A and B are shown apart, each in its own frame.
Chain A
Amino acid sequence: MEMRCERRVLDNGLSVLVHEDHGCPLVAVNLWYHVGSKNEQPGRTGLAHLFEHLMFEGSAHHDSSYFQPLQAAGAVLNGSTNADRTNYWEVVPTGAVELALWLESDRMGYLLPALTDAKFTNQRDVVLNERRQNYENRPYGRATMAMLAALYPPAHPYHWLTIGSADDLRATTLDEVKAFFARHYHPGNASLAIAGAIEPARAFALAEQYFGEIPAGPSRQVVTPPSFSPGSSRLVLEDRVELPRLYLAWHGPRMFAPGDAEVDLVADLLGNGKTSRLYKTLVYQRRVATEVAAFQQSRELAGFFQIVATAAPGHTLDELEAVIVEEVARLADEWPTPEELARVTAQAEAQFVYRLQTVGGFGGKSDQLNAYNIFLGDPAFFERDLARYLAVTPAEVAAATAQYLQSAGRVSVSVVPAGRLSLALADSEPAVVH
């Protein structure tokens, strides 16, 4: 099982990846910029994501909505920003490939002449509303902010959430936005994947035709996080919620680093689905929780592991914590059974096959090729990525559990109904969230 891919690098430094698949008359255009909220500075958080919004507001040779010509051509399109990267994609019918490439190239090469204060102000208001909708006005919406702020020191670029702080967004100026573009949006900091019903020779020729003239930019900004010693903290947030919820987080391996696949499987064993250990114990047998989840968040500079559990009425977060600590110890001490491990690796293997089903969009083949290329310099890593999971042994699962989930630097965030601080883990301190 593989994801075939040809790669060429244009003279200006742009990586071009092509994957041919004629299953449907569609072509996916997917463009990654190796910049995210980790490239921001304290005081100007949220800039990378706000900038992503401005990429849809027109460029020098098409100074109006980016969506209009594409939706009129039957395309779907979107973009997203996370801590490490920003991606933009279109899935177009075969007749609109050149339209999509032209539009992507125009905003890579010629965005600033069309960027006005009015567009900037409008999209800042939109982003502030996105923040209200997805964080401020959503139950438990501020928990991850508190958790990241406690896991990483203030100077660390993972200290803040990609959405940024509302005050920082309001303080950002148009000149800062323009400087951000000049620093990060250029061919050498980008990777273009074209996947679908297109011959590779034509795809490479079109990439050269539309992107070849864009000048190379400055060298890529390498972000070096400050070193720090992980500390433990216990925090509490009051929120408009009915049931208290516990967030536990530990430092984990970086993306693709040794241990990363192992803790991914630890997350599945502990918290993925009704057969996972924590679901069985907390929700099914003891019924002290209504839901539980576990996952490894692999990032470029560092990873973290999270367990999230919501208490059933009448039960405390201290009870949940005790069971979680017990189950983590059991996995570290007794190892998973071979059948258990076979179950989660079978699930992982099936997921890899399912990932081959779509050419475009978030998580489609073009998006995966860019991820492997940007983070590993190896777009054909798909097969070896799967091999990482299939090679994990019960002993390695146990060792990774002990190394990462029994380490000293653990952060807990208790989210409790307003006025019910006593439901939080004992000795928790109020979290301050900006």
Chain B
Amino acid sequence: MPAATADAPFDFPTIHKSQLGNGLAVWSVQHGDLPVATMVLLVRAGSSTDPAGRPGLASLTGDMLDEGAGDRGALEVHDALARIGAQFDTEVGSDATFLTLTTLTKFRQHGLALLADMVARPRFDAGEFERVRHLRANRLRQLRDVPSATADRAFATAVYGDHPYGHLAIGTMAALEHMTLDDVRDFHRRAYQPANAVLIVVGDLSHDQARVEAAASFATWAAEPSAGLVAAPGIDATGHAAHRLLLVDRPGAAQSELRIGHVAVSRRTPDYHALVVANLVLGGQFVSRLNMNLREHKGYTYGARSWFEFRLGPGPFQMSASVQTEVTAQAIFEAVGEMVSLRGARPITASELETARATLTKGYPRNFETADQIARSVAQLALYELPDEYFATFVPRIAALQLGTVQDAATRNLHPERLVTVIVGDADRVDPSLGVLDLGPAFRIAAP
């Protein structure tokens, strides 16, 4: 087998920055030969800033932005997007909202104008609001039947309790029923402020062009200093779990959907790079221990994986798999066993470290192939306030990690004694087998 040789050097994207008079940061990256541009507008407000009693409000607000804006009604906004061949999505995450629009270079200014209308001048029409609310209610109804969505929602609540990280962006039916257009207007006023946002433009353009084009569309977005910005509450990093083992009944299900994890660390942890590497050994890719054991050796599942979700506040560590009903208890036993032994009986080996580091370092340029990839990566720097040279220093930082550092980070940040296990499956068939896990009786909950 031919060994891999040295790779060609790569120049990471250079980010240019300026600020408009209203406080909006404008970042740009010159990229590529294709006539394609991607714009991301990052707003520092997500589901973690949902007010108490209003889970889902950030997401509902995000949903309303393209339902009429500026001079255009709801259908007219989408007609305009279609006419420039735009790929457009609004993603409401835990800590931020991202509006991403890709279009052809010749339509770039038009795309920016549409984005500006949506964030600065949404119409928030009452009729459209009622329609969107009904669609969301139906979506929530349908999600009850999707095992993976049920497991995600139950897990978040089980480990975070009442903290906003305890619900997914879509929120809950109970809250949705009481949400009003005034709630949306108020959230928009307190979150969608130019100084609380960053506009990122990637394409075939200089920063001067980016600044001029951004100003043409966004300069009239007025700051409203009196509104008071939304903020996420603090969090107890040890979690709130009242139960260790939860079971959502899905009679007759062919598989059990599993989520096993606990509250872990924030994006700001000094262990970040070491934990990314450690997770690649445990469950971050195909050859990781979890997948090799549960899929390639046991055949219990189509795939098993694990991840740390690094957020502004302490995000979760999770292991996940959908496993054949008959082997539910064994699969949990094996997954927890892999996590426990990584901290003790089978520590990370030099060869595993080498594979994980190479995956990250040699594969890194792949994340900068398209304008969309670059814009989304740059948005992460903006959200987590990482330095401009972050991309260029990532590879040397990973390459410099020693085995002891990675092992130590894994041992300190993985907590078997805090694990919460959520099972969505056929309770009558699964429950009797769970005794071997020594987690006490399973606590049965309804699908959220």
Q: Are A and B associated in one complex?
A: yes
Check if A353 sits within 8 Å of B35, measured CB to CB. yes
Task: State which of A136, A312, A353 has its C-beta within 8 Å of the C-beta of B134.
Answer: A312
Does A76 touch B at the CB level, under 8 Å? yes
Name the A residues within 8 Å of B5 (CB-CB). 95-96, 98
Check if A26 sits within 8 Å of B138, measured CB to CB. no
Question: Could you say which of B78-86, B115-123, B188-196 contacts chain A?
Answer: B78-86
Chain A nearest Cβ from B90, distance in angstroms: 13
Chain A nearest Cβ from B279, distance in angstroms: 14
Question: Taking A62-B1, A71-B287 as contacts, is the C-beta distance between A139 and B138 under 8 angstroms?
Answer: no
Task: State which of A76, A349, A356 has its C-beta within 8 Å of the C-beta of B363.
Answer: A76
Name the A residues within 8 Å of B300 (CB-CB). 125, 129
Task: State which of B34, B85, B287, B366 has its C-beta within 8 Å of the C-beta of A357.
Answer: B34
Name the A residues within 8 Å of B75 (CB-CB). 274-275, 280, 284
Chain A nearest Cβ from B157, distance in angstroms: 20
Q: Taking CB as reference atom, which chain A residue is nearest B301? A: A129
Check if A357 sits within 8 Å of B371, measured CB to CB. yes
Separation of A61 and B2 alpha carbons in the complex (Å): 12
Check if B138 sits within 8 Å of A313, measured CB to CB. yes
Does A205 touch B at the CB level, under 8 Å? no
List CB contacts (< 8 Å) of A258-313 with chain B: 273-275, 280, 283-284, 287, 290, 310, 312-313
Does B144 touch A at the CB level, under 8 Å? yes
Does A351 touch B at the CB level, under 8 Å? yes
Question: Taking A73-B358, A275-B75, A313-B138 as contacts, is the C-beta distance between A67 and B34 under 8 angstroms?
Answer: no
Name the A residues within 8 Å of B9 (CB-CB). 25
Per-position 1/0 for B68-108, Cβ under 8 A of A: 00000011001100111111000000000000001110000
Does A9 touch B at the CB level, under 8 Å? no
Check if A351 sits within 8 Å of B370, measured CB to CB. no
Name the A residues within 8 Å of B254 (CB-CB). 132, 136-137
Separation of A137 and B365 alpha carbons in the complex (Å): 37
Chain B nearest Cβ from A212, distance in angstroms: 16
Question: Taking A72-B358, A356-B34 as contacts, is the C-beta distance between A102 and B1 under 8 angstroms?
Answer: yes
Check if B363 sits within 8 Å of A346, measured CB to CB. no
Name the A residues within 8 Å of B354 (CB-CB). 72
Chain A nearest Cβ from B412, distance in angstroms: 26
Name the A residues within 8 Å of B35 (CB-CB). 353
Does B440 touch A at the CB level, under 8 Å? no
Interface of B is mostly: mixed
Name the B residues within 8 Å of A424 (CB-CB). none
Does A358 touch B at the CB level, under 8 Å? yes
Task: State which of B102, B253, B363, B370 has its C-beta within 8 Å of the C-beta of A93.
Answer: B363
Name the B residues within 8 Å of A283 (CB-CB). 135
Does B226 touch A at the CB level, under 8 Å? no
Separation of A59 and B382 alpha carbons in the complex (Å): 46
Task: State which of B104, B145, B147, B250 has its C-beta within 8 Å of the C-beta of A350.
Answer: B104
Task: State which of B2, B86, B252, B372 has its C-beta within 8 Å of the C-beta of A98.
Answer: B2
Does B324 touch A at the CB level, under 8 Å? yes
Q: Taking CB as reference atom, which chain B residue is nearest A418? A: B252
The number of inter-chain residue pairs (CB within 8 angstroms) is 203
Q: Taking CB as reference atom, which chain B residue is nearest A290? A: B138
Interface size class of B (residues with CB under 8 A): 35 or more
Task: State which of A242, A275, A313 has its C-beta within 8 Å of the C-beta of B78.
Answer: A275
Per-position 1/0 for B1-18, Cβ under 8 A of A: 111111111100000000
Separation of A419 and B355 alpha carbons in the complex (Å): 52
Chain B nearest Cβ from A90, distance in angstroms: 11
Does A228 touch B at the CB level, under 8 Å? no
Question: Taking A26-B365, A74-B358, A357-B34 as contacts, is the C-beta distance between A94 and B85 under 8 angstroms?
Answer: no
Check if A126 sits within 8 Å of B295, measured CB to CB. yes
Does B361 touch A at the CB level, under 8 Å? yes
Name the B residues within 8 Å of A240 (CB-CB). 145, 250, 252
Check if A351 sits within 8 Å of B85, measured CB to CB. yes
Question: Taking A68-B355, A126-B302, A349-B85 as contacts, is the C-beta distance between A99 and B1 under 8 angstroms?
Answer: yes
Residue contacts A-B, CB under 8 angstroms, 26 given: A23-B32, A61-B1, A62-B1, A67-B286, A75-B363, A93-B362, A93-B366, A95-B5, A99-B1, A125-B300, A129-B302, A129-B323, A130-B302, A133-B255, A137-B253, A240-B145, A241-B145, A242-B138, A242-B144, A273-B78, A275-B75, A290-B135, A346-B83, A353-B35, A354-B102, A358-B369
A71-B359, A274-B78 are known; give 15 further A-B pairs, CB within 8 A.
A71-B285, A74-B361, A76-B363, A93-B366, A95-B6, A129-B302, A132-B254, A197-B8, A240-B145, A241-B145, A242-B141, A242-B142, A344-B82, A346-B85, A347-B82
User: Which chain A residues have a beta carbon within 8 Å of chain B's beta carbons?
Assistant: 23-26, 61-62, 65, 67-69, 71-76, 91, 93-96, 98-99, 102-103, 121-126, 128-130, 132-134, 136-139, 197, 240-243, 273-275, 280, 283-284, 287, 290, 310, 312-313, 342-344, 346-347, 349-351, 353-354, 356-359
User: Which chain B residues have a beta carbon within 8 Å of chain A's beta carbons?
Assistant: 1-10, 32-36, 74-75, 78-79, 82-87, 102-104, 131, 134-135, 138-139, 141-142, 144-147, 250, 252-255, 257, 285-287, 292, 295-297, 299-302, 322-324, 354-355, 358-366, 368-372
